[in-house]
Amino acid sequence: MKIGILRIGPVDHKVLESLRENIKTVFPRTGCDILPDTLPLARDALNRQRGQYRSDILLATISIYAGKMRGIDRVLGVTEVDIFVPGLNFVFGQAECPGKAAVISLYRLRPEFYGETSDFKLLMDRCLKEAIHELGHTIGLGHCNNPFCVMYFSNSILDTDRKKSVFCDKCQLRVLNFLEAEIDNEQI
Ligand SMILES: [Zn+2]
Ligand SMILES: [Zn+2]
């Protein structure tokens, strides 16, 4: 599986570099690259009253982009802005389940958002968890009821900090089955 990381608006390059390295440690036999493009933040995704962007609209633009990409199986959009879906105050990310496109926001992963001092390692821990979670959705995984599994739904940053950046045994088996089936398909 080839994963492309795509900027949605300007994004800290150090975060993307670190994310690229970390994703490869969780997904076996997977390539991960930072794509050269930057998608602009869609104007119609901005809700001025809330000061937030609609993640479903951003996801739709990523999905169109992903559909045109050759040789990339999944596109993970990363944005610095705060995102939401109607009915929820905010989301850490969103993904097609299954599909090619996913998006995560760094906005509420930064310790500064909670009044704490900046901490790159903590930011990257959180960032990896949310990225793996959304990529898990793109290969068809739903939410897991194990609070330590990366596929556990994060209602708040406490849930994100509690869970690990890896899949529980049950979810890991599904990931491996998926990756194996994909390799078989490539060989046919
Ligand atoms: Zn989820
Ligand atoms: Zn699980």
Q: In what order do the strands lie in the sheet with 31-39?
A: 31-39, 2-8, 74-79, 101-105, 93-95
pLDDT recorded at residue 185: 74
pLDDT recorded at residue 179: 87
| Angle between the N-to-C axes of helices 120-138 and 13-26, in degrees from 0 to 180, rounded to the nearest 10 | 50
pLDDT at 181 over 90: no
Name the token pair of 25: 């440690």
Q: Over range 139-159, report the average pLDDT.
A: 97
Centroid of ligand 2 to alpha carbon of 65 (angstroms): 29
The set of catalytic residues is: 134
Residue 111 burial (CB < 10 Å; 0-12/13-18/19+)? middle
The CATH class given to the 2-187 domain equals alpha beta
pLDDT recorded at residue 187: 63
Ligand nearest to the CA of 134: 1
pLDDT at 128 over 80: yes
**Alpha-carbon span 142 to 32, nearest angstrom:** 23
Q: Which three-class secondary structure string do you get for 102-139?
A: EEEECCCCCHHHHCCCCCHHHHHHHHHHHHHHHHHHHC
Q: Kindly list the domain boundaries of the chain, sorted by start residue.
A: 2-187
Conformational region of residue 73, where left means phi above 0, alpha means psi within -120 to 50, and beta covers everything else: alpha
Q: For the segment 85-125, what is each residue's pLDDT rounded down to a tens digit?
A: 999 999 999 999 999 999 999 999 999 999 999 999 999 99
pLDDT recorded at residue 136: 97
Q: For the chain, give the percent of residues with pLDDT over 70.
A: 98
Mean pLDDT, the chain, rounded, equals: 95
Centroid of ligand 2 to alpha carbon of 153 (angstroms): 10
Centroid of ligand 2 to alpha carbon of 155 (angstroms): 16
pLDDT at 188 over 70: no
Q: Over range 49-57, report the average pLDDT.
A: 98
Q: Over range 136-150, report the average pLDDT.
A: 97
**Alpha-carbon span 182 to 26, nearest angstrom:** 17
Which residues lie at CB < 5 A from ion ligand 2? 144, 146, 149, 151, 168, 171
Ligand nearest to the CA of 164: 2
Centroid of ligand 1 to alpha carbon of 187 (angstroms): 31
